[in-house]
Chain A
């Protein structure tokens, strides 16, 4: 069995929880002492959730702009996405089946993962 904690979990912790080093150290210590990978992931996801829903005093998070369409112009990403959807509908409408299939597969995968996790927890 590997004694290295999940690297992706640690990367997520570092990305989403500022000042995470002591927490990551505690998790690594517990993992080395025999805790499971599932336990490690649960702790990391819970820490991210707790941090996300805990307000740091009066400090407000800076607004973040997410440009889904990689548009070079700020605040026009939504228009780019609409243009892409329109183009896909006109040029290749059958591609929507791929989008639908991906959405269904995602939902099925989510249900399967939940069922596996519940069965494991008993």
Chain B
């Protein structure tokens, strides 16, 4: 089988590892939305803000628990980082967790976009009719 990666690899195992790494960079639709909403929210992005941003732009109802599960997964994959803020009374003395997209996360967003655009192209069913 011909390697699908562009890099010239002589060792099959190394080829497999790099392809695996590339595959991991393609995000699910929810992960993509989370990362884009985090980018839109800026440096002060936290759970509620990210969920509201997704609801506002896509109309999709977001469960905060699902958003946090996705953010935890993204953090484990080093696509976002998080820091804890200061506790506040309106939150019952609990701290906010602020999220920030890493350069690797940004790259994953771009790669996913490229893959989606490539899939989108040349589909007659999706071509808009011009009046």
Contact = CB atoms under 8 A, between A and B. Distances in A.
B69 interface: yes
A32 B73 CA distance: 28
A54 interface: yes
Contacts of A32: 90
Contact of A26 (B48, B66, B72): B48
B91 interface: yes
Interface residues of B, number: 22
| Binding site secondary structure of chain B | helix
Interface string B18-55: 00000000000000000000000000001110000000
Contacts of A26: 46-48, 64, 91, 96
A11 to B, nearest CB: 13
A10 to B, nearest CB: 8
Given A23-B65, A26-B47, A30-B48, 11 more contacts: A17-B65, A21-B94, A21-B95, A26-B48, A29-B91, A46-B65, A47-B64, A50-B63, A50-B69, A51-B69, A56-B72
19 contacts: A17-B65, A21-B94, A21-B95, A22-B68, A23-B47, A24-B92, A24-B94, A25-B87, A25-B88, A26-B48, A26-B91, A26-B96, A29-B91, A30-B48, A44-B65, A49-B65, A50-B69, A51-B65, A51-B69
